Structure 1
Amino acid sequence: MRTTINKIKTPTFSILFIVALIGCKSGNKEPIKDTQNVTSLNVLSEVVDSINSDINNGDYGLINRFMVIRNDELLADFKYNQDYESIVKKYDTTNHQYNFNNTDWHPYYKESELHTLQSVTKSITSILFGIALDLNDDYNVSNKAMPLLSGYNTDFPDKRKQNITIEDLLTMRSGLQWNEETDHNDTTNDCFRLESSDNWIDYVLSKPMDTIPGTRFVYNGGGTVLLGKIIRIITGKRIDHWAEEKLFEPLGIGDYYWKETPDGEIDTEGGLYLKAEDLAKIGSLFLNKGNWNGKQIVSKRWVTTSTSPLLKDIKPQWRSVTGYGYQWWIPEYSENGKTNIYSANGYGGQYLMIAPEYNLVIVFNGWNINDEPEKSTYRVLQDRIIPALKYK
């Protein structure tokens, strides 16, 4: 869990302009040229400046970072300073890694530039699972999950649990009874209970079944915890070490933090911290179908499948109708299943949003956990940026 390497200071920009290459090129191809580049940049500049103005006016609540990358070039990068020390004085700030109002842990890790990603962690866990399957032909998404969890009691009275596959976990259709759609501080919320338990995997495995695996979407971070453990079983490495070797080092990500659970595992459902510019690298990797500077980090097939609407027209309580892939959200897709936008989403306003048609990657870090803002950054790409480019 590196926390002190390659600390890069990124300046704040008040207008849109090209400042640097993000560092990823798709194999031997040249970056895609926009035939109306000047007009497109002008339109993008206007809408991004407008969004920045609204953020400064407080319309989007507590936002810490807003980045725009197009054709692998960093076009805009805005930082916003928020006085969290003053904001959280009225809340309990017990020094615990899962107290979301403790400023040692949230939204930044111990005064560093590492920002909590919350459930964006799930999407990165999915990437790491894809790499593990790419490199090991003995396993695939059709494998049953329970036989892989050696060392745990998996002799369940309800035999439906034995039929949960890896793909069921990836698509949140495990069939486990799980409630994660209430406030995180609700003591009946399974995520709250999971994070308060001494053994996370035992907690997840103890949950009863309420439906047949593979039949119904239920948002469930516990399933992602099981995926993290299965990665360790497949690779022989704890996921943070696997990530460092197979994803972070190839992408030049040297500074990160990943929460450790009481039983010595890693929080794969919400515990990763990255700098915004490193999260943007993950977006560029996927925009380029898993290729980074000519090296295939994760297979094109895994990227395509993960970001396809395998599940359609699902409606989680806190989000509008959307599609879902392998731990990735697909908020906009065509009737024939073509993905127009996909995203990794996290509690408090962590968004990595990608629009392949426009070669766009958008990054937001925020921390709206106590009050709901007037506008949501989750809708920025879909409602403001793409419409402006489409009708330029």
Structure 2
Amino acid sequence: MKLIFKNHFLMMLLSLSVISASSQDIWPTQGWVKTSPDKLNLIADSLIALDHDFANGKYGHVDGMLIIRHGQIAYEASYSHNYAELYKQEAIEKSGLNATDPTGPYNYFSSWWHPFYHGSKLHTLQSVSKTITSMIIGVAVTRNEFPDLDTPVLSFFDTTTVKNIDARKRKMTIRHLLTMTAGFDWHENLPYSDPNNSCSNMEASFDWVKFTIDHPMSDDPGKVFNYNSGATELLAYIFRVATGRDIEEYAVKHLFEPLGINNHFWKRTPFGLVDSEGGVYLEKSDVAKLFYLFLKNGKWENQQIISADWVRQSVSPFIKFGPNRGYGYKWWLSSYGNKPAEVTWGGNGFGGQFPIVIPEYDMVVVFNAWNVFPSAQSRNYNPNFLTQKVLNAIVEYHEKKK
């Protein structure tokens, strides 16, 4: 569903006071410290009940949960599913989720690739990769190694080879790609198994960048929110052209290694470009580090990895849809209360990848799942539901509600 741009979405404007840490800084570079929920003012019974529900399949195929507060692990659990058996038939039947890739990384039913990479603990993040791509751009902006966000997208292309150029496409900027307001005539609101889904068709093509940039325009850039995975793939291309560096290589040196993230996998497109729209695999403990970095205002130990200004812009609502939701630079923003500070920041990936920051309560939580097909169980597993479950475990939350 397309949603009209609003530049006066101040209600959520922030939680950004939030960004100052409410507890002594703890840096999990060498790994997270584990403690008990009660020591972090969390109700253990609430988390145990959620754990049992996940283990019993109440919310579909959930693979893991990680609850972090004040820089320490309060609760962690993992769940095992036989995906090779669960999706055995789907893996060999052609569909929008494996159209041209029967044995490779874009067969979403192949247990060799999904949801875990080659039987490891690295879990697919799908579109949380978009949020991570935005983080990497934030690092490059902080280091003065990336162009101004208002630079036209077409300035990075040989326009004699680009199709459907009009005044609208000429006005499209990097900022529009970051905020899903590029204006392309793109149809990703369909199920990914639908052959008319633009993203599925992009992934079935050889050159994803050309597939996207050649699309006709339907709206003026900056005016309409239209979820578009191809827009994030354009960012990977722009990053390479503008910096001369591969975005994954850059991330390893300037983002992953400083945070102590030493193990990852990142898929590539058939053309060889990084799959910035959905290709990252990480362990949930390392996903938590990336989102904890934003909770800490872009600082890690004694280094400002990402500027505080970029963090503020990223989690500020560039657009609003509905009374309680917004979107920043590849960050989903959701209000859970009536105060400006009562807003979560998060990523959202196909199958149920939900890393969520709850700044007011100094928390980062990560949930992984592989609910490929909607079901009665999996429909109840969503960011709002998970946020409320976590809030129900916070002692101070209940005290504020009295």
Matched, 1:128 2:141: no
In structure 1, C-alpha distance between the alignment counterparts of 2:305 and 2:49, rounded to whole Å? 36
Structure 1 residues 355 and 371: alpha-carbon distance in aligned structure 2, compared to 1, 3 A threshold = same
Deviations 1:229-284 (A, max 9, x none): 11112221111101111111111111111111111111000011111111011121
Does the 8 Å CA contact 1:217/1:314 hold for their aligned counterparts?
no
Partner of 1:245: 253
Partner of 2:8: none
Partner of 1:16: none
Secondary structure of 2:242 counterpart: helix
Deviations 1:8-43 (A, max 9, x none): xxxxxxxxxxxxxxxxxx99x8249xxxx9867464
Does the 8 Å CA contact 1:322/1:331 hold for their aligned counterparts?
yes
Does the 8 Å CA contact 1:123/1:326 hold for their aligned counterparts?
yes
Partner of 1:369: 372
Does the 8 Å CA contact 1:362/1:381 hold for their aligned counterparts?
no
In structure 2, C-alpha distance between the alignment counterparts of 1:197 and 1:349, rounded to whole Å? 25
Does the 8 Å CA contact 1:341/1:356 hold for their aligned counterparts?
yes
Does the 8 Å CA contact 1:59/1:373 hold for their aligned counterparts?
no
Does the 8 Å CA contact 1:255/1:274 hold for their aligned counterparts?
yes
Structure 1 residues 53 and 138: alpha-carbon distance in aligned structure 2, compared to 1, 3 A threshold = closer
Of 355, 359, 381, which residue of structure 2 is paired with 1:356?
359
Does the 8 Å CA contact 2:176/2:182 hold for their aligned counterparts?
yes
Counterpart residue identity of residue 386, structure 1: L
Runs of 5+ unmatched residues, structure 2: 1-19, 27-35, 93-101
In structure 2, C-alpha distance between the alignment counterparts of 1:111 and 1:183, rounded to whole Å? 27
In structure 2, C-alpha distance between the alignment counterparts of 1:53 and 1:249, rounded to whole Å? 35
After TM superposition, the structure 1 stretch with the greater mean CA deviation from structure 2, 127-136 or 332-341, is: 332-341
In structure 1, C-alpha distance between the alignment counterparts of 2:159 and 2:284, rounded to whole Å? 37
Does the 8 Å CA contact 1:350/1:365 hold for their aligned counterparts?
yes
Counterpart residue identity of residue 368, structure 1: N
Matched, 1:58 2:57: yes
Secondary structure of 2:281 counterpart: strand
Partner of 1:324: 327
Does the 8 Å CA contact 2:146/2:243 hold for their aligned counterparts?
no
Does the 8 Å CA contact 2:146/2:242 hold for their aligned counterparts?
no
Q: TM-score, normalised by structure 1?
A: 0.85
Structure 1 residues 274 and 151: alpha-carbon distance in aligned structure 2, compared to 1, 3 A threshold = farther
Of 376, 379, 387, which residue of structure 1 is paired with 2:384?
379
Counterpart residue identity of residue 88, structure 1: Y
Structure 1 residues 44 and 149: alpha-carbon distance in aligned structure 2, compared to 1, 3 A threshold = farther
Partner of 2:77: 78
Give the drift of 1:381. Answer: 4.0
Matched, 1:30 2:24: yes
After TM superposition, the structure 1 stretch with the greater mean CA deviation from structure 2, 360-369 or 380-389, is: 380-389
Secondary structure of 2:68 counterpart: strand
Give the drift of 1:313. Answer: 2.1
Structure 1 residues 264 and 74: alpha-carbon distance in aligned structure 2, compared to 1, 3 A threshold = same
Partner of 1:44: 43
Give the drift of 1:339. Answer: 6.1
Q: TM-score, normalised by structure 2?
A: 0.83
Q: Within 5 A, what are the aligned runs for 1:201-280? A: 201-280=209-288
In structure 1, C-alpha distance between the alignment counterparts of 2:208 and 2:189, rounded to whole Å? 19
Give the drift of 1:122. Answer: 0.1
Counterpart residue identity of residue 177, structure 2: L
Secondary structure of 1:345 counterpart: coil
Of 120, 124, 127, which residue of structure 2 is paired with 1:116?
124
Of 187, 199, 207, which residue of structure 2 is paired with 1:191?
199
Does the 8 Å CA contact 1:160/1:209 hold for their aligned counterparts?
yes
Counterpart residue identity of residue 203, structure 1: F
Partner of 2:89: 90
Of 284, 289, 296, which residue of structure 2 is paired with 1:281?
289
Matched, 1:343 2:343: no
Q: How many positions carry a matched residue from both structures?
A: 358
Give the drift of 1:338. Answer: 4.8
Query: What RMSD over aligned residues (CA atoms) do the two structures have, in Å?
Result: 2.4
In structure 2, C-alpha distance between the alignment counterparts of 1:278 and 1:69, rounded to whole Å? 12
Structure 1 residues 336 and 65: alpha-carbon distance in aligned structure 2, compared to 1, 3 A threshold = closer
Does the 8 Å CA contact 1:68/1:77 hold for their aligned counterparts?
yes
Deviations 1:337-391 (A, max 9, x none): 6562111110001011000010010101100002424221423443222244211
In structure 2, C-alpha distance between the alignment counterparts of 1:335 and 1:74, rounded to whole Å? 28
Q: Within 5 A, what are the aligned runs for 1:292-331? A: 292-314=300-322, 322-331=325-334
Does the 8 Å CA contact 2:87/2:109 hold for their aligned counterparts?
yes
Secondary structure of 2:333 counterpart: strand
Counterpart residue identity of residue 56, structure 1: A
In structure 1, C-alpha distance between the alignment counterparts of 2:129 and 2:243, rounded to whole Å? 19
Secondary structure of 1:68 counterpart: strand
Counterpart residue identity of residue 302, structure 1: W
Partner of 2:66: 67
Runs of 5+ unmatched residues, structure 1: 1-25, 316-320
Counterpart residue identity of residue 327, structure 1: K
Structure 1 residues 158 and 288: alpha-carbon distance in aligned structure 2, compared to 1, 3 A threshold = same
Partner of 2:398: 391
Counterpart residue identity of residue 134, structure 2: S
